[in-house]
Structure 1
Amino acid sequence: MCIAVFMWQAHPKYPFLLLHNRDEYYSRATEALAWWEGESVLGGKDGVGGGTWLGCTREGRIAFLTNFRELDTIRHAKTRGDLPLRFLQSNKSPQEFAEEIEEEAQQYNGFNLVLADMCSSTMVYVFNRLKQFHLSVAKVTPGIHVLTNAALDSPWPKAERLRHNFKEFIDEYGESDPPIKEMVEKLMTNTVKDEECMLPGIHSPEREYPLSSIFVEAQLPAGHYGTRSSSALFVKSNKEVTFYEKYLDQSQWKEKMVTYKISER
């Protein structure tokens, strides 16, 4: 299902800061953070669908995704992870890409998609479950935003916990560089769960309760499910990008960090 918190155009040194947890079945094949597609895309890779949940490029393009929690799903829907990848591989602006996928948006199960171009300082949020399943595209405003499995900034309790903790951490370090690994460890491993009365109520409490924490570990009917990776993607005003991923590899937690400079166009 995934959860993400990000700060856009609101920090004195970092125009973009992102923390992202990817939740998935443990049995689903996954490749860890790496350069792929001819070293044009940096991110983790879904070994089943071939797409990604979070990626970036040397040209300053960024895309990330969360699923939308809903009762009814499309049985043979297109893989949602293909959307970030297609944007990263394209030369289109975030707005142009959003318009391009409008006709096919309903062939996917519910998704939240954020697309950014650091060189033009543009970011849009794309949501395919707005009223009668129409596609919604909105410019992202400066500030802190949280994305769970509802629309952007929906006040789910775990989203509000993450927003509060993220702001507190950022405020503590002020204009200095926040420690990326410590930030991931403190904010994205939180296992506090909601009381039943606070759950969204889309599925049964028995299903939603184990998914109500920022860091998830659950035994669902289809198998062992939980947070497979915690990532941080920071972009500095000098165009230096740091991508850190802590990921689960055969019951062992490992980590990888990649840094690079956004190339001039």
Structure 2
Amino acid sequence: MCLIIFSLGQHPDFPLLVAANRDEFHQRPTAAMDWWSQPDLLAGRDLKSGGTWLAIDRAGQVAAVTNVREGTPEMGRHSRGELPVRALTTETDTLQARLTAQQDLYSGFNLVKLSPLDHGHGWYYSNRDAHPGRHLHRGSYGLSNHLLQSPWPKLLRLRNAVASTLADPSIRPTGQLHAQLIEQLQDPTPAPDHVLPDTGVGLETERFLSSPFIVGPHYGTRATTIVTVRRDGEITVTEQAWTPQGQPGDHRQFCWQREPLI
């Protein structure tokens, strides 16, 4: 997962909204989003390492991980794909203590855990942050392959687009909102050279990775995921898969009900 935009308490009907693109090598074996039997989570599955990039539990909590882009990354002994599962099955304080003690087990990562309760709140942890572990409150946030809210061009563009969509006072069916967000995340516009970050991968690669939606024969955006939790308790998750040519592939949608949110 390489671009996550999320909104906490920014819309009266949707205390939690997540819109994310997963960028990955096309040859990496992957199972589409579905319910896991153990633990009871909705997630796609990385068939190489066994983990996931984004998961949702029955209560509407979402956990997702991104890699930290580093020019010469060191391979971690544990897969970062286990982190979203740990986040949804472990108390946050306990997980933070364990991750702090085990930071070197993983390559660079960002992890978010988001909840629709109390008008939306969250938690963010990165083993590349000088002060890892912080609680998040109402607001619009963006996360890519650097620290939370790093002003990368594609992050700013998508965060602003999603915020504008949520600021629209018109009431839309959930399906229409999901379709609009998927269209926004399918933005192939590259950033100008003068605003590109320097993450040690070279200018040509920085250009290629600078668009919110990446199309390439070997590496690119493989799935877009939208999660909304309504105040009335409706939870809707849409996953749109993409081919190496950027064309729509498998489309899945899941919807269930939890108790209404106060």
User: Which residue in 1 is equivalent to 2:252?
Assistant: 256
The alpha carbon displacement at 1:170 in A equals 1.7
The letter for the 2-side match of 1:116 is L
User: Which residue in 2 is equivalent to 1:145?
Assistant: 141
**TM-score, reference length from structure 1:** 0.88
User: Which residue in 1 is equivalent to 2:159?
Assistant: 163
Query: Do the aligned residues in 1 keep the contact of 2:16 with 2:115 (CA within 8 Å)?
Result: no
User: Which residue in 2 is equivalent to 1:71?
Assistant: 71
- 1:212 counterpart = 2:210: yes
Whole-Å separation in 1 of the counterparts to 2:186 and 2:198: 24
- 1:180 counterpart = 2:153: no
Compared with structure 1, are the counterparts of its residues 76 and 18 closer, same or farther at alpha carbon in structure 2 (3 Å cutoff)? closer
Query: How many residue pairs were aligned?
Result: 255
User: Which residue in 2 is equivalent to 1:200?
Assistant: 197
**TM-score, reference length from structure 2:** 0.89
User: Which residue in 2 is equivalent to 1:190?
Assistant: 187
Whole-Å separation in 2 of the counterparts to 1:13 and 1:204: 43
- 1:233 counterpart = 2:206: no
The letter for the 1-side match of 2:127 is N
- 1:23 counterpart = 2:23: yes
The alpha carbon displacement at 1:174 in A equals 4.4
The alpha carbon displacement at 1:105 in A equals 1.9
Q: Cα deviations across residues 186-239 of structure 1 (Å, max 9, x unaligned)?
A: 2110000012221101121111111000001235xxxx0000000100011122
Q: Report sequence identity in percent.
A: 29
The letter for the 1-side match of 2:72 is D
Whole-Å separation in 1 of the counterparts to 2:51 and 2:182: 26
| Other structure's SS at 2:52 match | coil
Whole-Å separation in 2 of the counterparts to 1:148 and 1:250: 21
| Other structure's SS at 1:218 match | coil
Query: Do the aligned residues in 1 keep the contact of 2:9 with 2:15 (CA within 8 Å)?
Result: yes
The alpha carbon displacement at 1:173 in A equals 4.4
Whole-Å separation in 2 of the counterparts to 1:250 and 1:171: 33
Whole-Å separation in 2 of the counterparts to 1:10 and 1:165: 14
More displaced 10-residue stretch of structure 1: 245-254 or 190-199: 245-254
The alpha carbon displacement at 1:110 in A equals 1.0
More displaced 10-residue stretch of structure 1: 33-42 or 146-155: 33-42
Whole-Å separation in 1 of the counterparts to 2:91 and 2:171: 30
Whole-Å separation in 2 of the counterparts to 1:195 and 1:249: 26
Compared with structure 1, are the counterparts of its residues 249 and 214 closer, same or farther at alpha carbon in structure 2 (3 Å cutoff)? closer
User: Which residue in 2 is equivalent to 1:9?
Assistant: 9
The letter for the 1-side match of 2:213 is F
Compared with structure 1, are the counterparts of its residues 230 and 173 closer, same or farther at alpha carbon in structure 2 (3 Å cutoff)? farther
Compared with structure 1, are the counterparts of its residues 98 and 177 closer, same or farther at alpha carbon in structure 2 (3 Å cutoff)? farther
Query: Do the aligned residues in 1 keep the contact of 2:122 with 2:135 (CA within 8 Å)?
Result: yes
Whole-Å separation in 2 of the counterparts to 1:37 and 1:208: 39
Looking at secondary structure, tell me which structure has more strand per residue: 1
Whole-Å separation in 2 of the counterparts to 1:218 and 1:263: 42
The letter for the 2-side match of 1:191 is P
The letter for the 1-side match of 2:151 is P
| Other structure's SS at 1:144 match | strand
The alpha carbon displacement at 1:185 in A equals 3.2
**Superposition CA RMSD, Å:** 2.2
